[in-house]
Every structure is written in C-alpha cells, then in structure tokens.
Structure 1
Amino acid sequence: MTKTVYPMPPETDQSAGPAFREAMAEVASAVHVVTTLTPAGRFGLTATAFSSVSDAPPTVLVCIERSSRTLASIVASGIFCVNTLPAHDVELAEIFASRRGLAGEDRFATAEWGRLATGAPVLRNALAAFDCRLVATHDIASHRVLIGEVVALGGQGRGGSLLYRRRRFEAL
C-alpha cells in the first residue's frame, strides 16, 4: 500500500478555517450512524463524511475525529457498519451525535438493531447498511480516514433520506 502525504505549505492562512466551515455548512450530506462491536460492548456515532471508494471489491471510506472513543473501538475490533438514516430518524442522529446525554448501551436502546456478517450493529430500518472489515486507516489533520471492505449489505432501501445542512438535520 502506497501512502503519499502532501504537507501544507507554511504560508497557508490558518484563519481560513471559519470560512471553510461556513462553506461546508452549505453542502448537504447524507447522515449515517457508524457502529462497531467490541468485547466491551457496542459503540457508535453520527457521521456525514462517508463515500464509496470502489465496487471491485466493494470498498467505502468514513472520516472520524481522532479523539473519538468509537474510532478507538473500531480500530481495536477491526469492524464497523455504516447505517444510512431514513428521513424520520432525526432523534437517532441527535442521540449518536452526543446531543441527548445518552452514552453506551443507552444509545442503542432507542432503536432496533440486528447483525450481518461482522457482528457490528446494523440498524433494522436503515436505508442502506454497509457491514465492513477495516482494511486501512490514514490520519489527515484532525480526523482518521477509515477504509472498509464491505462484506455484507443490509437496509430497507425505501423512503427519504436524512441530510445534514446548515448545521441541522433535514429530510429529503
């Protein structure tokens, strides 16, 4: 595996951060709950930075802040599932974004979950679920990019999608 890192030039204006965040707030992104399973239990978080990489073999990527406990659990377990949320699941997105004061198993008690090939929690009413084996990680700025080989698929595939735009959840 080849990894090329392009450092930022020293003259880069770091004050561009607020302008960048405002510009990115205009970009609508699908909302996902990323989950994993370890001997210590189930972990999960809300994420919008998710994309396909390849269909041969089926491969996806998701970006997670490096300080995340869920990230540490995914790396330790080597598995994760990306669950694409339907339009009506705003509350679940808020819960897994740590905005409702719930943690650990209490988060999972708010929805119905199953399992596919890896054992990572799969949301039963997800529009799509990508059950993955972790194959690579790359640290970029404040986040880690996780590359996962999709080993199983799930989901309902019906209805509208939940989006995140202008710092709020919206139905499509």
Structure 2
Amino acid sequence: MSSDLFLAGMRKVVGAVSVITTTSNDGDPRGLTATSVCSLSAEPPSLIACVNRKTWVAQFVPDSGVFAVNVLSQGQEAIARTFAGQTSLAASDRFSVGEWETRTTGVPIAKGALASFECKLEQIIDHTTHVILIGQVVETVLGNGHSLVYLDGSFASFPRPSSAA
C-alpha cells in the first residue's frame, strides 16, 4: 500500500488540535502541534501522544521526564499554526504567540485551552519515524469554548451540541 493513499485517508479523520509542550533540562521550552493524542486509561489517568522523533519535543522529553498536552479552543488557531511551523517563529520564540503559564511540572500550559494535561513520562515506544509518549497525568486544567479541529488540511471549529432536556 502506498503511504500517499494512507495519508489521504487519514486527512479524512477529524482530529482535535493539541500543542504538546516540554522543556529541556535547562528550562528551554519547546512545542509542536499534533492531532495524534488519545486517552489510555482512567486509573491511573494516562494518555498517549505520538510525535516525530526528529522534533525537539521527542528529544527533550526523555531527559525532562515531563510533557503537557494542550487541547486548543477555537480562538487559538494562531497558536496551532505557529507550533505547526506555519510561521517564521521557531524554537522557544513560538511561545510569544498566545498566553502561557507553568504549573505543577514546569512545562508551558496554554491559557484558554479547552483542557491541559500535565504528564509525567511513563514510557517511550519507538516506532519507525515516530515515538509514542505514554504519560501519567498529574494535573488537568479545564477551560471553556469550542473545539479547534483539523480535517482535510484545514483548521475548523464545531460548537458543542446542545443538551437534550
């Protein structure tokens, strides 16, 4: 099977847009935009994030032992584009877009995100061009708004369905 056909098929899958962040041992922050994030277990709270092994995030996480997954809201498309490399900003300069704070683990957390999950690294699994980060969630911060999603090469937002009475 061709990878082009596989990629075309995966572009049809809607994905929540997240920015995965971490820091070097010296506290230098890095991040990247990703849609390959999912829950792993509720007991203990754990999640999976898949990142290209050539990224700074993949290189810093093994030493720092921590990372965060920031699930972006509709108003944070500029953050998503910046951390996807769609602007001229690179490395820690990307954190000049949006508002950021640090909490429990010391990694950057996006203010205004729908949810931010700070994780302690539990395991890394190598698989071809990517690594799978398995993290135990040590803190969750919840926000409000509509989800920013990625579908067929574009960012979009969908409002939450109204609750049935």
* TM-score relative to the length of structure 2: 0.91
Equivalenced residues, count: 157
Matched, 1:168 2:146: no
In structure 2, distance between residues paired with 1:87 and 1:99: 17
In structure 1, distance between residues paired with 2:34 and 2:92: 18
Name the structure 2 match of 1:61.
48
Name the structure 1 match of 2:118.
131
Q: Note the C-alpha offset of 1:50.
A: 0.2
Name the structure 1 match of 2:107.
120
Quick check: which has more Rg, 1 or 2?
1
Q: Note the C-alpha offset of 1:76.
A: 1.7
- The amino acid that maps onto 2:54 is S
2:28 and 2:92 in contact (8 A); partners too: yes
Matched, 1:105 2:92: yes
CA RMSD of aligned residues (A): 1.0
- The amino acid that maps onto 2:148 is L
Q: Note the C-alpha offset of 1:104.
A: 2.3
Name the structure 2 match of 1:7.
none
In structure 2, distance between residues paired with 1:101 and 1:28: 26
Q: Which runs of 5+ in 1 are unaligned?
A: 1-12
Name the structure 2 match of 1:21.
7
**Quick one: which of 21, 29, 34 aligns to 2:20?**
34
* TM-score relative to the length of structure 1: 0.88
Runs of 4+ in 1 over 6 A off after TM superposition: none
1:33 and 1:47 in contact (8 A); partners too: yes
1:61-100 equivalences under 5 Å are 61-100=48-87
Give a deviation string over 1:20-76, Cα, whole Å, max 9, x none: 111100000000001012215111000100000000000000000011122101122
- The amino acid that maps onto 2:75 is H
In structure 2, distance between residues paired with 1:71 and 1:107: 17
Q: Which runs of 5+ in 2 are unaligned?
A: 159-165
1:95 and 1:107 in contact (8 A); partners too: yes
Task: Describe the SS at the equivalent of 2:90.
Answer: coil
